[in-house]
Structures are given as structure tokens and as C-alpha cells.
Amino acid sequence: ATKTYFKMKLSTLNLVISIICVLFTTIVHCTEFENPYKVLGISKTASNEEIKKAYKHPDKNSAPEANEKFMSIKQAYELLSNPLKKERFDKYGTVDETHQNDFHNHFHQFKSYFQHFNEYSYQGFQEEEKFLSKHRISYRYYSNNILPKTYKKPYLIYAYSSYCYICFKKASIWKDAVQDLEPLGYGIATVNDVFDGDLLDNLRVPSLPSILVVVEGRIIHFRTESSLLDSKMIRHFALNAIPTHFITRINDYPALRRFLDQWEVSNKISILILSQKENPRMRHLLNAMQFSTFAKFGYFYLTDSTDSKAIKSALNIQYSNHDHIMIFNDNPQNGPVARLVLNSGSKRQEMEQIINLINHHKFLSMPRISSTEYFDEICPVSSRSYKQICVILPVMESDADKDFIKTFRRFVIGFKNTLHNENFHFSYIYINQQWDFMEKFTDLITPSDNEKDGKTIDILVLWRYENDRTKVMWLPDAWTNDESKISIFADSLLNNLDKVVAGSLKLTKTAKIIPLKDEYYPSWFTRFSHNTIRAIEMFWYHFTKKEALPVLSATFTFIFILFIGYLLNYLKPSLNKTKVGEKDKNKNVSTEYNWHPDDPKISKKGTLDGSRQVLTKEQKCWKDMEPLLHELRAETYYGMIRLLKPGCRSLVILVDEESKDILLKQFATYVWPLRNNKTFSFGYLMVNKNLSFFRLLLEHTLPAQEGDGTNVKNSMVNRLKDINPKQTLGTVIAICGWKLYFSMYHPMHVNPRRRDVLGFDDSDEYTESENEYENNTTDGRSRRHLLRHVKKNCAIKLEEVLDGLPNWIDRIFKYFSKELKMSVELEGLKKATEKNERLMSELKWIRGDVTQRISNDIKNSKRDTNSMEVKFKMFSRKKILCVGKGEPIGKVDGTKVYFHYETYLPDKIYSGDEFPSDPSLYTCIDSTRRSWPKGFGREMEIVIGKQFQLEFFEYAISTMKSGEVAFFDAAPNIIANYATVSSRLRDMVKRETDNKKSNEPHISSCCGNSLKHGTGYEELDKWNENPIALRFKFEITKIMFPGTYDPDDWQLDDTDKLSRAESLRLEGNSLVTQKDYEGAIEKYGRALTLIDQLLLKETPKSSEYLAIDMLNIPLYSNLSLCFLKLNKTRDCIKTATEALKRDPKCEKALYRRAEGYINEWQLQEAEADLEALKNISPENIQLYKIGMGKVNEARVKHQQTQAKYAKKMFPNANINKE
């Protein structure tokens, strides 16, 4: 038993020791395995390119750890470069494949059997198997090579299996498609499910065989039945899968100009493709995608249109049946730098020609280093024996450094045209955009004692001998922006560069290269939108019908439940509101007789609840009535009362600042049914400011008290001098200004102290007892009884003062209300406010007592439609002479109206209400029916809503009908700027008449003259000094509503004017090419007029003014050409001078003015312009020589002409040629 126990103990101990050894071995094994990310020094999100860059062989070292370090780096790189191993390590933290390898080893024992089975079953497909295996790829090759390339080239992938009969049956169709697509540069690949099933899972291939395209990192599957598959369908699918945003469609000649002029902004060459096919061919789409980083591609569809013919003529295209490819650099005005005509050769040969052509002209003459990709192409890594020297001009992205770029680009173009040295690569870089990159180089600048004057700049010269290392040298003050010193600096720079190549000037300093910022990297919004669209497309594909039905069912069920719940809640009666209403109805809010809204005893909750019950109704009524309610004051007195027509009345309510919001809304609710009644107008009176006016009304209406004597007026003053304004709130007065009577509604107000029932004798002071009240009234007992009854039952609140207003309004309509006579014509408003006394006298416009101050205030006030219409109604009268047809024109914006008008000036100021009808008492100062100088000689036109300067004309015309003739008597305060408008119209007619007599075209628009020194017309100056009312006679001849006519240039807004000016310029250019110079002058003149109108809105010499004024330069320059062609040399010189005033370096204007001077025999001026042209643009030396030849020829001809005339005058004299 003891031995047995001892053996059991020993076996247990051995088992524990074995387990411990196994655990120790596992821990040691896990410890020895290093993290590959830490070994390479990268993060888990690193891309394949970053992994390749991190994999470097360590420097040679004799230390024993060097070999181990290299092995660990190699193992880490092999693990992370294999996508399967990398994915397994990221998921499980290990790459142990022992068991999987064992399984595969066991499977390989049966490999020969399955191979024999395959050959037996699919005999005859060996050729297809061989062709498919030719393009077969693995998961690792797809991840490391194909996927990054899909952003430059799409890949067409065919998924099949060695055990799929249909796959090999369709292989012949696949072969035909590949033979068509592969020569064009389309990527081709195949995936075998037997060997690369993980890759098919990653590509989400649902079945075999399957065809898909991988482009820009996304997968597009070809959905069709296998039985319907053919090679043509595959080609169409491959074509449609290519993104089309790499090619810009060009539809007309202006679009072509804009496309070619984008080289400076895009930093790319422009490649133009012209073809007779409506859509671009596949080869062009593939090339555009491949070279999208360095080139912009445009496609123009050649047709028989005018734009197509113009482009053919401009680009010298003779054969329209072939595709034309043209490359433009940073000088598009000089034409294409290279062109190619595709003659329908072999696909591979044509693609090679296109690619070679683009690679040879891949960059601009002097490109900008804007990204790492640009830097790698411009400054490639080169060996010591064949150095590639990169010459970089570092500048700031500002207007101050643009001259450096411009002059340096001219130098580079001349250098490439003469020397053709391929070892030098010229470019420039924005320091502020690439500061991190340039910081490594700016640290190597040697400090200089000389101060920079801003006219010179340093140049960076570098040689890149490794991917991240470069040799650097700075050339101090190597370039200038001074035009006169360019040749000196150019010779010095060439000398230094020759020394660098020869080795006498060595690049000694070393700098490290860091990645550059991509200046054209899309913004976060662009990337977000792009990714969102892609996600939706991917979701739409992978969201199958089986998955869609449950999701849609759950979504619609949830929406249906919400709808039912909302519907039940809407139909449920509001019990809480009913209970709250009953509670408020039985609740006595206040037992106090003072109904003032600030009473602290009034419950705020009750007030709010009460207002809530009528909130919707009040809002509706207030929205309609608010524009119709006007304050009665001195300015509106005549409009609301004195000038009312017969049968019209004004309803005015008395309010103060505290009760205004409450009473006006209640008043609006009660008078809302009368809003469409044209015999009523509505307003309110601020009783605190105009209490004296209300007292004056009552002084002549209430009877005198007994015992007051015969002085009734004094009696009224004594009784009404202590009116409490609070007790007059809510009083409504219906005033008829025509017959001078009024009716009044007054609520019953009660106070517990001594106060009159109507409140007119109330006082803010109170007596000690009511006996005094009894003694001072004849019927004190009855009135005291009435007061007690009212105090108990009828405490009137502010919200209840207008409850009886509807009954009173009904009595007004039935003439049951008492009418009180106004014997003083309501002059109380004038007496009430002394501050408004002057304004009241000024508003009596019919007597002509208006001052220039009121005119200026109205003229400078903001344009408000409602307020302006009220002013026009108040201060004008209309008399119809001939009734028109149809409806009034109305205020429909954009309506064009043609009309005649005449302006009559009275011989004197009349004191009556209306002008006399005798026409001999007027003088006609303006007329559209009379010819110049007695009138304008043509009908006028106005567009409603376009802010005509004389706003009264627009108002008057809007009230008339077609064919109507009417008189309008207008006060001077609404036609204050009539003198200005009339003088401008006269000046325009006078200028046009003078131009017709002199046969000179009108080029630019007229600018408004100032009235500072008078208008230039005596009758207008006199009226401007002493303005009085005028009579206008209008006759409507024609009405054109919006949409029935084309708007004129002056009707356009600022943006449309700019667009119209540009289109007119292009139309003029087209007419110049057709040699229609007269038509071109008309187009350019209209464009100048539009720009002149825009300049009138800007401050002179401001940045906006100067920017708009620069648009005149090409217009004046082109005008000078047209005048030169028409032999109008003076006009040519004049317009060219206008262009040179704005840009003294305008080469075209200089040359054309020189030609004009030559035709005018002003040879010295012509030589001066040609010399200036030579200094500004040295490359135009040939043009300078041609011009000087014309000058010498003209000088000789001039001398011969003089000699000829001298010989005729002096036949016997001996005259030499000199």
C-alpha cells in the first residue's frame, strides 16, 4: 500500500512538472516573437507604401546584434507585406500555421487524384486554362500592386474556378474582350477560386464565373446572366465603369477659352481632344485617368455649328474625320505646343503615340511644385554621373511676387528654346504653402550683410541623390523683377548654372527631404460627399432583396405606428383646456375698480390663459390689419382726415405706450371685417402726446354747466382741464374730414372716489368723503346709487373696454350714432404739439408752402413700398380724362410700360384745393410728343420695380389702365428730384441728337451730372430754388408684362451685367474674325456701357473699382483694332490711349496706337510706342522690326510727297530727295 501510494505521488509530481515545462516553453516562444509594427516603427494603419519605405537594410556593422536586427526587420516586412498574415496577426496576435499546414499537407496527398479527375472531366480546355492563368493574381499581389494602381488605371477581373465548367466555356468570350481592352491600357486580371478563395471573399464575388471592375479602390460588379454574356457587353461594361469626371466637356468657343486659361490656377497642361464622335472613346478616358495629376483633358464634339467652325479655323483643323489631340502649355495664345492626328492605326500603336506625346510635354514651361508627386517628377533621384539639377524659385503666394514668376517664366521659355539642356529642371514653389518642406532649406541660407530691397530674390539649386536626401546651394540675389535688368541677371544665372554642371561651383550642403503638402487635396466636405456617394453605391449593391424586405417591413411598421398615435392624439378632445376654461370663467380676477393693466392684484396666469384662448384669432386679424393701422399725428393729419373723399371716415382709437399692444390687437380684431371697405381707414392716437387735441374736440361738443355764466369757452376749459388720460383709453372716434363731423365710442369707466361718470371731470386727487360729491351734483343721490351698483357688479378691465365696440360700429352703419360738428377743422393736433407746428405748415402742399429740407428728407429716405404709396396718396390727386381698358397695371415687378407725359408748371401759387382747368394758366416745360429742343420727341418706357429715380411716375402709372389719359397734381415733396431727372433726360436726348449730326457712335454711357452748379436749364433751376406743385398728364400707349419681352441691359443686376459684358466681348471678337468691324464696335460699346454702370456704384480708386475698370482694357484694345481696320485712325488712337491709361504695358494697344500714329504721320509718337513695346516684351522683337519698317516707309513716302508738292510749286528749283 505504501509503494502504491508512493507511485501515485510520483506520477502526480511528474504531471505537474510537465505542465509547468509546457507553459514555460509557450511563454518563452511568445516572448521571443517581436511585434512587427514596433520593429519597422510604423502604426497598424500604415499603408503598403509606408511599409515599403520603412523596410531598409541596416548599415554594415560588425556587432553581433546587427545580423539579428536585419533578420527581425526582414521577418516583420514579410509578415506585413502578406495581406493574409497581416490580417491574421491583427486579429489574433500570432501567425502560427502549424495546424493549417498539417491540413494542407494531408490534402496534398490527394492532389494528383483530383488533377487527373480535372483533366478527364474538362478535356479540351487546356488552352483556356493556360490563357486564364496568364493573368492570374494572388491576394498579396492584388493588395500591394493592383489596388493602389486602380486610382490611375481600372482593372477588369475575371473570377473562375478550376472545377467550373461554365467558367471555361465562357473563357473564349473573355479572351476576345481582353484582346480588345488590353492594348488600350486597361488592366486585366483573373482570380482562381481554388488558389485564392480569400481574395474572392474580399471582392464579394457571389457566384462563378463573375466579372468585375476595380476602379479608384471601389468594386463594380457586372450583373448579367451567364447565358447572355458576350464580348461586346463586357466592353460596354468596362467603358461605363471608367469615371467621366477626368474629362471636361466643351460645348462652345467661350468654354474652350476658359478651359485653356486655367493653366495658372490648376498648374497643369491642357490637352484638347476633338472628335466627330459625341462621347469620348475608351482610350481617351484611360489616358485622362492616367495623367490626371499633371494634365487637364477637354473634349469637343465636332459638328457643323458656328462654334465648331470657329474652333476648326482657330486651330487649323483640316481633317475632321480623325481624332485630333492638342497639348497647350502656359502660353495658350500661341497655339498648341504639340498635336497628333489619329489615323485609325492599331490600338497599341496609337496608345504608344499618345503616351509618348504626353510624356514629352508633361509639364508647363515652369511648373509649380505643389505636391510630393510633382516634386518626384520634376526633381527625380539621379546618379553622380548624370546629375539632374533642379532650379527652384521660392516665392510667396501674393501679388508682390507675381512679377518674379512672370519674368522668370519668360527666362525659362527662352532657355528651353535656345539651349535645350535636359539636365536642368526649372520650377517655383510657394513658401507659405510648403513651409514645412522649405524650412529644411531656409536653415542653410548664409546670412548676408546686404539688405534686401524687394527687387531681388534668392534661387534654390539642388541635386537629389537619394529619395530623402539632397545636395543644396542657394544663389543669393539671383533674380529680379526689374524689367530693365533682366538680361543682366539672366546672364549671371546661366553662368552660375554652367559652373554647377562643370563642378567649379559645388553643392556642399545636405538637406533632408520631407513630404510636401498636396495643395490640391480636396476639402473635407468634398471628401465626405465623395465617400458618402460611394458608400450609398456599395450599400445599394450589397443590400440584397432578402435583406431589404425585412428592413423595409420594420421601417414602414414603425412609421405606421407613429402615424396612428399622432392621429389618435389629434382626434382626442382636449379635456384639460375645457377644465381650465371653466375655472377661469368662474374666477373673479379682481375686486378692485381700477382696471389698469399693471395692477398687482390681477392674476398674470389668468391674463395669460385668457389671451391664449383668442391667440390664434388675434394673430390672424393682427397680421392683416397691422399694415393698415397708422398713427394719427401731424405728419399724417391731412392724409387721414383733411384729404378724405366724400363718404370716407377714419376710425381712430386712443391708446398710450402701456396699453398700445393690448388695445390695438383688440381693435384690429373688431374692425377686421371692415378691412376691405374702401370708405374706412384706421389709425390710433397716442393720448399722452395729444391730450390737448382730444380736449379741444370736447370743448365744442359738451354743454356748459349751470351757473357758469355766459362764458361757455371758459366753462369748458375749467371742466376739462383735469382729464385723466388713463380714463380715455379705449375711446374710438369716427372722423369725417370732408364734412367736419365725428362720432365717438367711449367705454364706461368708474373709480371709487369722486370722478365723473364719463371721466371728463376726473381728477387724480380725491376727497375725504362722498358728501362733497353729493353737494356738487344736482342728482347726487341717483348718481351715487349708480356708482355703488357699478362698483359691485361692473369692474371694467383694460381687456374689456372694447367689448361694446361692435354694437357701436353697427349703429354707425345704420346712422343711429350721434354726429358731433367740428367747427375748428381739427386744428388741435397743430396746437397740441409745438414741435410739429412747422411740419404741419409744410405739409399743406396744395398752397406750395414746402421747404427744401422736406424734399431732401424724402429724397434720401429708404424705399418702402407701403410708406411711399401712403405719401403718394396723401400728396397727389388724379383726374381721369379718358377711361382706359382692362384692369389697372398694378405693382407687378418687371412690367414694361410705354407712355407719353407732359409736365405743366403753374404760372403762380394757387391757394385753392385744386388747380384751375384753364390751360392758359400753365406752361408746358417737358413733353414726349414734341421734338427737341421743345421736348424729347419719343415715348418713354418704365419697368415697374426697377427703382426709377422719380418714384411718383411709377406710382401714377401703376394706377392707370391701357389707353388711359389722366392728370396728376403732385406736391413738391414727392417729386423733389424732378429737376435732376428731367435734366438728365434732356442731356441724353441732346447728346444723341448731336451724335447723329456728327455721325459719331456713342460708346460709353452717360454719367449723372450734379446740381451743384445748376441743371443748365433756367426753368428747372427756378423750380429747384422754389419748388411748387406740378401737373402731369400721362397717356399709356403699351403694356408688356414679364416674360413677354427680353430685358434690356440696364434692367440686369450686377452679376448679370458682368456676364452680359463678357458675352458681348466674345460676340465682338467673333464679329472681328468675320471682318464685321461695325457690328463689333456696337458690341464693344454695349459692353463698355454695362461696365460704366457698374463703376458708378463703386468708390473711385477703391480695389473693387479698379478690378472692374480693368475689364475695359481688352474692350478698348479691340475697339482700336476695329477703328484701325475702318481707317478711323483718330478713334483708334483715342481708344488705344484709354487702354494704356489703365495698363501702360498693354502690348496690343501700344502696337495699334503706333499704327494709328503712322497713318496720321505722327512718326515720332509711333517710334516712342514701338520702343516701349520693345522694352516691355523683348520676345516681340520681330513685331518691333515690322513696325519700324512701316515707320521708315511712311517717312520716305512723306518726304517724297513733300518733294513732289515742292516741285509743283517751284518747277525751276533744283530740289534734292533729301
DSSP string covering 429-479: EETTTSHHHHHHHHTTPPP-SSPP-SSEEEEEEEEE-SSSEEEEEEEEEEE
Residue 414: pLDDT over 90: no
pLDDT at 851: 34
Average confidence (pLDDT) over 1112-1126? 91
Average pLDDT over residues 486-491: 90
Cα dihedral across residues 487, 493, 495, 497: positive or negative: negative
- Cβ-contact 1054, 1094 below 8 angstroms: yes
Q: Note the pLDDT of residue 321.
A: 82
Least confidently predicted of 758-772, 779-793, 1047-1061, 1074-1088? 758-772
Grid coordinates representing 468 are 530623402
Give the integer Cα–Cα distance in Å for 1216 and 1203: 8
Q: Please tell me the predicted confidence (pLDDT) of residue 799.
A: 79
pLDDT digits (tens, 9 = 90+) for 319-361: 778 889 999 998 888 889 999 998 766 788 888 889 999 998 9
Q: What average pLDDT does the segment 1077-1102 reach?
A: 83
Calculate mean pLDDT across residues 58-82: 66
| CATH superfamily entry for domain 372-512 | Glutaredoxin (3.40.30.10)
- Give the CA radius of gyration of the chain: 48
Q: What is the pLDDT of residue 91?
A: 53
Q: Is 1081 exposed, middle or buried (0-12, 13-18, 19+ CB in 10 A)?
A: buried
- Give per-residue pLDDT as tens, 613-645: 445 677 888 888 888 898 988 778 877 887 777
**Predicted pLDDT of residue 1215:** 45
**3-state SS assignment for residue 690:** coil
For residue 630, give the C-alpha cell. Answer: 397708422
Determine contact, residues 538/452, Cβ cutoff 8 Å: no
What pLDDT shows up at residue 588? 45
The whole-number pLDDT of residue 702 equals 62
User: In the CATH hierarchy, which fold is given to the domain comprising 247-360?
Assistant: Glutaredoxin (3.40.30)
Residue 211 — pLDDT band, cuts 50, 70, 90? very high
In contact, 1047 and 895? CB cutoff 8 Å: no
Per-residue confidence (pLDDT) for residue 945, from 0 to 100: 76
pLDDT the model gives residue 145: 87
Measure the CA–CA gap between 368 and 373, rounded to whole angstroms: 12
- Across the range 850-856, mean pLDDT stands at 37
pLDDT in tens, 581-602: 554 544 444 433 344 444 444 4
Residue 775 has pLDDT above 80, yes or no: no
User: Looking at residues 1163-1190, what average pLDDT do you find?
Assistant: 84
pLDDT value of position 1200? 76
Q: Which pLDDT does position 859 carry in this prediction?
A: 40
**pLDDT band, very low/low/confident/very high, at 612 (cuts 50, 70, 90):** very low
**The pLDDT value given to residue 943:** 84
- Its sign, for the CA torsion 567, 573, 579, 581, is positive
When pLDDT is cut at 50, 70 and 90, the band that residue 191 belongs to is very high
Greatest mean pLDDT among 8-17, 453-462, 1180-1189 lies in: 453-462
Q: Residue range 524-533: average pLDDT?
A: 84
Cβ 375 vs Cβ 516: under 8 Å = yes
The pLDDT mean for the chain works out to 76
Tell me how far apart the alpha carbons of residues 8 and 25 are, in angstroms, rounded to a whole number: 26
Task: Round to whole Å and give the CA distance between 318 and 306.
Answer: 16
Average pLDDT over residues 601-620: 51
How crowded is residue 72: how many other Cβ atoms within 10 Å of its Cβ?
15
430 has a pLDDT exceeding 90: yes
Query: Does residue 766 have a pLDDT over 50?
Result: no
Please state, in angstroms and rounded to a whole number, the distance separating the CA atoms of residues 654 and 733. Answer: 8
Which of left, alpha, beta for 454 (phi over 0: left; psi -120 to 50: alpha)?
Answer: left
Residue recorded with cell 455721325: 999
Report d(CA 547, CA 549) in Å as an integer: 6
Rounded Cα distance between 497 and 421, Å, is 11
Mean pLDDT lowest among 529-538, 836-845, 1082-1091? 836-845
- Tell whether omega for the bond before 209 is within 30 degrees of 0, i.e. cis: yes
pLDDT at 13 over 90: no
Per CATH, the homologous superfamily of domain 33-92 is DnaJ domain (1.10.287.110)
What are the pLDDT digits (tens) for 1018-1065? 888 888 888 888 899 999 999 888 777 766 666 677 777 888 888 889
Determine the pLDDT at residue 708: 47
Per the CB < 8 A criterion, the answer to whether 145 and 205 are in contact is no
- Angle of helix 1147-1159 relative to helix 1163-1176, nearest 10 degrees, comes to 160
The reported pLDDT for the residue numbered 447 is 66
Give the range among 302-316, 589-603, 1090-1104 with minimum mean pLDDT: 589-603
Q: How confident is the model at residue 173 (pLDDT cuts 50, 70, 90)?
A: very high
Rounded CA separation 216/1041 (Å): 53
Q: What proportion of the chain, given as a percentage, has pLDDT over 90?
A: 19
| CATH number for the domain formed by residue range(s) 844-1045 | 3.10.50.40
Look up the CATH superfamily of 613-840: Glutaredoxin (3.40.30.10)
Distance in angstroms (rounded) separating the CA atoms of residues 1090 and 88: 70
CATH number of 127-241: 3.40.30.10
Greatest mean pLDDT among 109-113, 407-411, 421-425, 738-742 lies in 407-411
E-assigned strands of 642-765? 649-655, 680-686, 732-736, 741-745
Model confidence, pTM: 0.44
Picking from 186-200, 268-282, 926-940, which range would have the lowest pLDDT averaged per residue? 926-940
Cα 1138 from Cα 1111, distance rounded (Å): 12
Residue 420, pLDDT > 80, answer: no
pLDDT over 50 (residue 857)? no
Residue 48's contacts (CB-CB under 8 Å, 6 or more residues apart) are 81, 143, 144, 148
Q: How far is 1030 from 747, CA to CA, in rounded Å?
A: 46
Distances (CA, A) of 272 to 134, 186, 299, 343: 37, 22, 6, 17
pLDDT, position 706: 45
pLDDT at residue 178 in the model:
93
| pLDDT exceeds 70 at position 293 | yes
Region 1071-1080: mean pLDDT is 90
Average pLDDT of 452-473? Answer: 88
Report the share of the chain in percent with pLDDT over 70.
72
Strands 155-160 and 187-192: parallel
pLDDT at 1012: 41
C-alpha torsion 747→752→756→760, nearest 10? -60
Residue 155 has pLDDT above 50, yes or no: yes
Q: What is the 3-state secondary structure (H, E, C) of 817-885?
A: CCCEECCCCCCHHHHHCHHHHHHHHHCCHHHCCCCHHHHHHHHHCCCCHHHHHHHHHHCEEEEEEECCE
Specify the pLDDT at position 932: 81
